[in-house]
Structure 1
Amino acid sequence: MRIDISDNLRHFFTRYNEERRLSLWQALLDELVSIKVQAQFVESDEQLNAVKHKFKGICRYLAIEFDMQMAQIISAEQLLDVVGHIYEQVVAIKDEL
C-alpha cells in the first residue's frame, strides 16, 4: 500500500518556525521508529490493533486521511510496510524544512 503524503507533510510543517519544524520532524521520526519496533513484536490481533491505533493517531495529527487504508491492514507485516513507506517520505522532506 503506497500513498504519497509528502504534500501533507510539507503543509503540516509550514505552520511552524524552522526550529520547531526540526524538533517536530525528529519527534515524528522517533514515533514512527517506535511503531515499527512495536509492530515487529505483535503476537495478537489486540496488539496489532493497539499499534494501528497509535499510527492512526499520528496520521490524524498530520491531517492525513488514512481510515480506509488502515482498515485494509490485517497483519503486522502490512503495517510495517506502510509505516516504513511513511518513514521514507518523512526522511525525504528533511532538506525542505
Structure 2
Amino acid sequence: MPSSALVYPVILSEFNDDGHYYTITSPNIPGMITQADTLSEAQTEAVDAIATMLDGTTYPLPQDSSSWILESNQQVHLITVDMDAWYHEKNEYLK
C-alpha cells in the first residue's frame, strides 16, 4: 500500500508588528496561507492548510526550497502531512 505521507517545504514568516504571530505559505501550493500565535501552532495549522488545499487534487511535487529567496523574518520548515490520517480525523470531527 502506498504511503499517504507528503512532505512539503513551507515559508514560516515571523511578525511582531501587531502582536507576535507567524504566517505560513508555500510556493508549492498557490493560495495556501495560514496564521498562528506560536511555532507549534504554526506547524499544526500548516498541516491542516496543506491537506485542505490538496484534498481531492493531484498532489504537486515538492519544490527545492534551496533556491527560494527569503526575507530576514522568514525560514523554511518541512511539513509532513498524512493525508489518510487527516481525512479520517476530518470525517470523525464531522460526525
Which structure is richer in relative contact order (CA contacts within 8 A, separation 6 or more)? Answer: 1
The reply to whether TM is greater than 0.5 is no
Structure showing greater Rg: 2
Query: Normalized per residue, which structure has more strand?
Result: 2
State TM-score, norm by structure 1: 0.29
Query: Normalized per residue, which structure has more helix?
Result: 1
